[in-house]
């Protein structure tokens, strides 16, 4: 099998005396969607912030395409090809699609003047590539649907060089139709074949619909992993609940 795009080996992250990640391993391949699942407090956000250069791991090692990397800042991670789309998307609703697309990385001529036409074209074309035709990229982001905003954030990450695309709960705040729009976008990006996607989700159905592999976190540790084809609904639900048997949870509820 080909080398993984990103490999996380024995990552530990402590906040003072508290251990948020306790020896986590994760490996994600190009052209795959890897679902990262786990209850609140499992350590999902801490793990992706470690991959995104927001947190430095206490110990352990991250490898990109087999090479060890040490991120001291989010910029380091971006340069290494980690594109993170956070839940809040980091978009400015009042600004245009194009200005959001290029925020902080604008194209300018030698006099420092913005090349608006060029930027409009890139923003438009990059979004069309992953399935959304914004006819007017000068329209404010606030006029777009939630699904279109996710797509904008994803297109932007890819255009600026993401090889590992990390999506934090991309469907959680959306209605059904827009959730499907985002899943289609993710599928399209997977189809490129050269990008590894880490999908954080609470939605078991979405994970089953598009993930190739699963990793389950509970209280900072990996409690299960596997290929989608080998995992079935009951396994997934048990592992998402932190490994507790559903029968035990029912018993607990009945005792109240
Ligand atoms: N900056 C921090 N300082 C102290 N504790 C933190 C910090 N960030 C996260 N934690 C703790 O680490 C644990 C895992 O949190 P988090 O990664 O946000 O979980 P998840 O995203 O899976 O819900 C939680 O108990 C949380 O309170
Ligand atoms: Mg979280």
Domains and CATH numbers, the chain: 6-91+162-254 (3.40.50.300)
Ligand 1 centre distance from Cα of residue 28 (Å): 23
- What is the residue with the minimal CA distance to atom 25 of ligand 1? 41
Q: Which residue has the higher pLDDT, 240 or 193?
A: 193
- Which bound ligand lies closest to the C-alpha atom of 37? 1
- Which bound ligand lies closest to the C-alpha atom of 44? 1
pLDDT bin (cut points 50, 70, 90) of residue 245 is: low
Could you give the percent of the chain with pLDDT greater than 70? 96
Which residues surround the ion ligand 2 when the cut-off is CB under 5 Å? 44-45
The predicted-structure confidence for 53-103, as pLDDT tens digits, reads as follows 999 999 999 999 999 999 999 999 999 999 999 877 778 889 999 999 998
> Does position 1 have pLDDT exceeding 70, yes or no?
no
Answer yes or no: are the C-beta atoms of 85 and 150 closer than 8 Å.
Answer: yes
- What is the residue with the minimal CA distance to atom 17 of ligand 1? 43
Which regions of 117-183 does DSSP assign to beta strands (E)? Answer: 164-168
What's the predicted TM-score (pTM) here?
A: 0.91
| Residue 15 falls in which region: left (phi positive, over 0), alpha (psi -120 to 50) or beta | beta
Interatomic CA distance for residues 93 and 240, integer angstroms? 34
Give the number of residues written for the chain. 256
* Residues in Cβ contact with 212 at an 8 Å cutoff, skipping those fewer than 6 apart: 32, 33, 34, 227, 228
Mean pLDDT of the chain: 90
Chain centroid to CA 155: how far?
A: 13
Q: Which of the residue ranges 4-8, 38-42, 129-133, 178-182 has the most confident prediction, judged by mean pLDDT?
A: 4-8
Ligand 1 pocket at CB < 6 A = 15, 18, 20, 38, 40-46
């Amino acid at each position: 099998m080909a080398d993984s795009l990103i490999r996380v080996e024995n990552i530990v992250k402590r906040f003072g005396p508290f251990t948020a990640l306790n020896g986590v391993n994760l490996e994600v391949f190009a052209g795959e969607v890897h679902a990262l699942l786990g209850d609140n407090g499992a350590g999902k956000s801490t793990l992706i912030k470690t991959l995104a250069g927001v947190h430095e791991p206490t110990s352990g090692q991250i490898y990109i395409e087999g090479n060890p990397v040490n991120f001291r800042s989010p910029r380091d991670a971006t340069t290494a090809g980690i594109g993170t789309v956070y839940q809040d998307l980091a978009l400015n609703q009042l600004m245009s699609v194009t200005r959001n697309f290029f925020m902080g990385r604008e194209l300018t001529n030698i006099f420092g003047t913005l090349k608006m036409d060029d930027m409009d074209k890139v923003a438009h074309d990059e979004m069309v590539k992953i399935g959304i035709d914004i006819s007017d990229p000068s329209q404010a982001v606030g006029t777009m649907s939630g699904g279109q905003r996710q797509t904008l954030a994803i297109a932007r990450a890819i255009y600026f060089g993401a090889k590992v695309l990390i999506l934090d709960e991309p469907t959680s705040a959306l209605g059904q139709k827009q959730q499907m729009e985002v899943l289609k976008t993710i599928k399209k990006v997977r189809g490129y074949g050269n990008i590894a996607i880490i999908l954080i989700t609470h939605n078991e159905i979405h994970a089953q619909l598009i993930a190739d592999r699963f990793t389950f976190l509970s209280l900072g540790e990996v409690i299960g992993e596997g290929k989608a084809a080998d995992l079935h609904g009951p396994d997934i639900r048990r592992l998402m609940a932190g490994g507790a048997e559903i029968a035990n949870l029912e018993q607990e509820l009945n005792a109240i």
